[in-house]
Each structure stands twice: as C-alpha cells, then as structure tokens.
Chain A
Amino acid sequence: MERKTSVHAEDGKQELTITREFDLPVELLFKAYTESDILSQWMGTKVLKLENRKHGGWQFETSDPGGKVVFRANGVIHEFIPGRKITRTFEMENTPFEAQLEFLEFEKLTDDTSRLNMHIVYRSVALRDQTLKLPFTWGINMAHNRLQTVLNKIKDTL
C-alpha cells in the first residue's frame, strides 16, 4: 500500500502536520477546498457555509440517513491567499474539544503536481492526543440508528 499522506506528530507537542502530494495542478487542489459542492464530496459532509475570505466563516454538518445530525463543525477564516494559503480555526460543536488553529499551505511542485501542508495547533498536548483518537469513529456511514447509540460507548473505551 502506497503511503501518500504522512502525519507527523511528535510526542509531547500540541501540534501536528499532515502532508500530501497530489497529481493535480495547485489551482485544482485549491479549488477542492474553496467550492462547497466539491468540498462536500471528498469530506463526506454537508457544507452549510463557506466564506472564502479574510474573516469569513465556515460550517460543516453530517447527518445520518434518517436526517439526524451526527457531526457539526465550524470556524473562522483568518487568512485567505488564493492558490496559496488558508489559515482558519476548526471547532467541533457539542464536544468537549476546543478550537484548533489550522494553517493550510498549497504548494506548486510542477505544472501537474502539488503539495498540501496542513499544520494544526491544539490548545494542549492532551487535546491533540484525544483528537487523534477520534477518526476511528468518523466518516462512518450511519447505516442504522443503533450505530449511533453505541458510538458514544466506544468513544469511552478509546
């Protein structure tokens, strides 16, 4: 299995970096982050709001097939440089997790390839480590309501 995406998280630090190279021109990579319908496809979430400008806001929401909201996150865009950089906050609603700061840098490698560098800063080391344990439960297609009720239980065991 090819490891195209790398995550670097040093022990005892309240930050991490995610790096990925794409077989895409940097313009297309950036577009995938700024157009609501495209973003919703690859993030697997509904985009309620996406204001691509300095001091703009964003909000994502994911529902189960029954229409019940299972995940909602929002934040504010602090810096927006088209084709190059997005600085934003990210906060999951209705969770004990506090806002995190994200620096997204889009880099041109060749005309047809690009690299994304995501630098995420958390309030504390503990918060970072807790957040790292969450993805196991994310992105699951809630095929049945029962899955939702056990979701909280498994979170406790992690």
Chain B
Amino acid sequence: MRLRRDVFQAIADPTRRAILLLVASQSMTAGAIASNFTTARPTVSKHLQILTECELLKSEQNGREIYYRLNHHKIREIAAFIEPFRQMWDERFNKLESIMKKHKPKKA
C-alpha cells in the first residue's frame, strides 16, 4: 500500500526531522522538545501537530503533561521506501537551481 504523500512532506522539513531524532530515544514533552530549538514555541507546536497527524509521533497523557514519542513502526515503513532519498535529492537540486538562476546575470 502506498503511503500518504503528507508523510513525506512531513519528513522533508529539517526541523521536523530533528524533532523525530530527539524523541527517538525517549518520550519528551513539547516544552522539552522546544528547548532544543531557537524556533518560536508555537512553530514547534505546529510541527508536533503535523508529525502526530502523520502518525510519525505518538502522544501520551501522563498526569498534566503530554509526552511525545517516535512511532518506530511508521518510521520503518517510510525508511523501506525510496521517497526520502528522492526528496533529499529534490531539495538539493531545487537549491542548485535557485542558486544558479541568481548566478546567471553575473555571467552574462
């Protein structure tokens, strides 16, 4: 079965990939996760929401806190697929293209 596109969009973002790495070894609260980034807290919350919707993260209520952890099953599903590799190259080539487009006038 083909995975939904949004999963791949979710992991295309560097901050979201970094979040996945953070929670790979242990469950963390949103606050603890956010403290690892210079990004504004609401932005991190939005990333957590997207990752949860894609089932890459699982959230659990523990007392008054919500803990986030990696859904290893989902990660494996994606890892077996070629899409992340394609996305990495697509991102790089997009960058190459935009850099060289700016480069153009200087050369002419």
Q: State the A residues within 8 Å of B (CB).
A: 1, 3-7, 9, 18, 20, 22-24, 28-29, 31-32, 38, 41-44, 116, 132-133, 135-141, 143-144, 146-147, 150-151, 153-154, 157-158
Q: How far is the CA of A139 from the CA of B48 in the complex (A)?
A: 20
Q: How far is the CA of A5 from the CA of B87 in the complex (A)?
A: 8
Is there an interface contact between B82 and A9, defined as CB atoms closer than 8 Å?
yes
The B1-47 residues at the A interface (CB cut-off 8 A) are 5, 9, 11, 14, 17-18, 20-22, 24-25, 36-38
Report chain A residues within 8 Å CB of B5. 1
Report chain B residues within 8 Å CB of A31. 100, 103
Is there an interface contact between A143 and B37, defined as CB atoms closer than 8 Å?
yes
Q: State the B residues within 8 Å of A (CB).
A: 5, 9, 11, 14, 17-18, 20-22, 24-25, 36-38, 70, 72, 75-76, 78-80, 82, 84-97, 99-101, 103-104, 107
Contacts A24-B100, A150-B25; is A132 near B82 (CB within 8 Å)?
yes
Is there an interface contact between A135 and B88, defined as CB atoms closer than 8 Å?
yes
Closest to A144 in B: B36
CB distance from A150 to the nearest CB of B (A): 5
Is there an interface contact between A154 and B101, defined as CB atoms closer than 8 Å?
no
Q: How far is the CA of A77 from the CA of B100 in the complex (A)?
A: 23
Is there an interface contact between A43 and B82, defined as CB atoms closer than 8 Å?
no
CB distance from A48 to the nearest CB of B (A): 19
Report chain B residues within 8 Å CB of A3. 86, 90
Is there an interface contact between A150 and B21, defined as CB atoms closer than 8 Å?
yes
Is there an interface contact between A32 and B99, defined as CB atoms closer than 8 Å?
yes
Cross-interface CB contact of A157 among B9, B75, B87, B103, cutoff 8 Å:
B75
Is there an interface contact between A140 and B100, defined as CB atoms closer than 8 Å?
no
Contacts A41-B95, A146-B36, A154-B24; is A29 near B100 (CB within 8 Å)?
yes
Is there an interface contact between B78 and A157, defined as CB atoms closer than 8 Å?
no
Cross-interface CB contact of A139 among B14, B20, B70, B104, cutoff 8 Å:
B14
Is there an interface contact between A20 and B85, defined as CB atoms closer than 8 Å?
no
Is there an interface contact between B75 and A7, defined as CB atoms closer than 8 Å?
no
Is there an interface contact between B89 and A20, defined as CB atoms closer than 8 Å?
yes
Q: How far is the CA of A69 from the CA of B97 in the complex (A)?
A: 27
Closest to B78 in A: A136
Closest to B36 in A: A144
Q: How far is the CA of A38 from the CA of B92 in the complex (A)?
A: 12
Given A3-B90, A9-B82, A139-B92, list of 14 further CB < 8 A pairs? A4-B90, A6-B86, A7-B82, A20-B93, A42-B95, A132-B82, A136-B84, A137-B17, A140-B17, A140-B21, A143-B18, A151-B21, A154-B20, A157-B76
